[in-house]
Each structure stands twice: as structure tokens, then as C-alpha cells.
Amino acid sequence: MMEIRIRLDEHADVPFIKKLLSQIKGITNIEVSEDDTINSWGEIEKSEYFAKVMAQSRNNYKNRKTQELTDDVLNELFGRK
């Protein structure tokens, strides 16, 4: 088994990143940790912070405040050529 660690800043869209990663073949588990604390996806979904992030994300989408990622950006992020 291999492991990849990704460091995110405080403004990162964690739910989006988790959803994006969960769609990649071969990824079997995604954990989020903050200050050396690992939370399960279920714990994250139940958190107040997650609810606020999802509400903000829905509002942004509704108000057309979204960004589309091009293949070039995704390839840069995931090191594909």
C-alpha cells in the first residue's frame, strides 16, 4: 500500500477535494487530519464546519461564483502529462 499526503491551507475546499479524489481509480480511503487529529469522513460530514462549507458552496454555485478546472490544471495538480 502507498500513501500520499497533501497539505492544504485553511481556505481549501476540502469536501470538493475529497469528492474529486474519491473518483480516482485505486483510491481506497481518504482521511483528513488537522493538528495531528485524523477524522473519518462520517465525522467530517456531521461537523458544523462541514455544514457551513457546504452551505457556502451551494450559495456560490447558485450565484454563479464558481471556477472550472481545465484539464491542464488537473494534470498539473496530479502530475500527469
Grid coordinates standing for 67? 471556477
Could you tell me which residues are beta bridge partners of residue 9?
none
Task: Write down the pTM of the prediction.
Answer: 0.40
Q: How many C-beta atoms surround the C-beta of residue 76 within 10 A?
A: 12
pLDDT score at 36 = 64
pLDDT of residue 80: 65
Mean per-residue pLDDT, 67-77: 74
Residue with cell 500513501: 3
Closest to 50 in 3D by CA, of 7, 18, 28, 20: 18
Other Cβ atoms less than 10 A from the Cβ of 33: the count is 9
Domain coordinates in residue numbering, the chain: 14-22+29-78
